């Protein structure tokens, strides 16, 4: 979560980006080996992971009464238990790093209800401040980069 756009309280009250349904479970944060070890050693000893080839994701249980999966790192009262150690995908939320026609782009999630109330100038300014870091991380971790999805507004494109 980007604090210059979203406050911790707003995110704690919302939690939308920490829950998934069958259609958006692909948004579950990418977990690399180092993060997986951190999770089992510090946060949840019995956490299981689903192998996605280049990375893994947290194994989450579907709710009995709905098509909903809550992230296992979510404390429903306090928000994410991982604090500043949360996965990269979560750190840059509501931005997403995607690839479109061979070019990396930073997009804005259309589902975050809070960021959609912010002025576009503020969103662009914040994106500009983090873009170099996001693209550098994407270079080091290609598994962070998701295929572009129609409808995701592009806020920045990498120049290379
Ligand atoms: S790791 Fe934390 S911020 Fe990321 S989806 Fe799970 S609860 Fe939310």
Q: d(Cα 40, Cα 151) in Å, to the nearest integer?
A: 36
Q: Is the pLDDT of residue 143 over 90?
A: yes
End-to-end CA distance of the chain: 26
State pLDDT tens for residues 93-112. 999 999 999 999 999 999 89
Residue 68 burial (10 A CB sphere; 0-12, 13-18, 19+): middle
How does DSSP classify residue 41? Answer: I
Residue 29 CB–ligand 1 contact under 6 Å: yes
Q: Is the pLDDT of residue 14 over 80?
A: yes
CB 56 within 8 A of CB 129: no
pLDDT band at 77 (very low <50, low <70, confident <90, very high): confident
Residue 74 CB–ligand 1 contact under 6 Å: yes
Mean pLDDT of 53-75: 94
Bridge-based pairing state of the strands 146-147 and 95-100: parallel
ω into 94 cis (within 30 of 0): yes
pLDDT band at 76 (very low <50, low <70, confident <90, very high): confident
**Cα–ligand 1 centroid distance for 130 (angstroms):** 20
**Cα–ligand 1 centroid distance for 74 (angstroms):** 6
Q: Is the pLDDT of residue 149 over 80?
A: yes
48, 52, 55, 60: CA torsion to nearest 10 = -30
Q: Is the pLDDT of residue 126 over 80?
A: yes
Whole-model pTM: value is 0.91
**Cα–ligand 1 centroid distance for 120 (angstroms):** 25
Work out the mean pLDDT of the chain and round it to a whole number: 93
**Cα–ligand 1 centroid distance for 14 (angstroms):** 12
Among 1, 13, 18, which residue has the most ligand 1 atoms within 8 Å of its CB, making it the best to mutate?
18
How does DSSP classify residue 121? Answer: H
């Amino acid at each position: 979560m980007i604090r210059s756009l979203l406050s911790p309280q707003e995110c704690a009250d919302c939690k939308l980006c920490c829950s998934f349904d069958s259609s958006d479970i692909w948004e579950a944060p990418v977990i690399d080996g180092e993060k997986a070890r951190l999770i089992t050693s510090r946060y949840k000893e019995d956490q299981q992971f689903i192998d996605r080839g280049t990375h893994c994701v947290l194994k989450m249980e579907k709710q009995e009464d709905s098509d909903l999966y809550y992230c296992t790192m979510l404390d429903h009262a306090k928000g994410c238990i991982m604090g500043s150690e949360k996965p990269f995908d979560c750190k840059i939320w509501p931005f997403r790093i995607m690839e479109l026609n061979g070019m990396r782009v930073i997009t804005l999630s259309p589902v975050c209800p809070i960021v959609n109330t912010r002025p576009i100038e503020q969103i662009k300014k914040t994106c500009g401040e983090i873009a170099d870091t996001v693209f550098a991380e994407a270079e080091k971790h290609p598994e962070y980069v998701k295929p572009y999805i129609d409808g995701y507004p592009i806020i920045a494109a990498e120049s290379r």
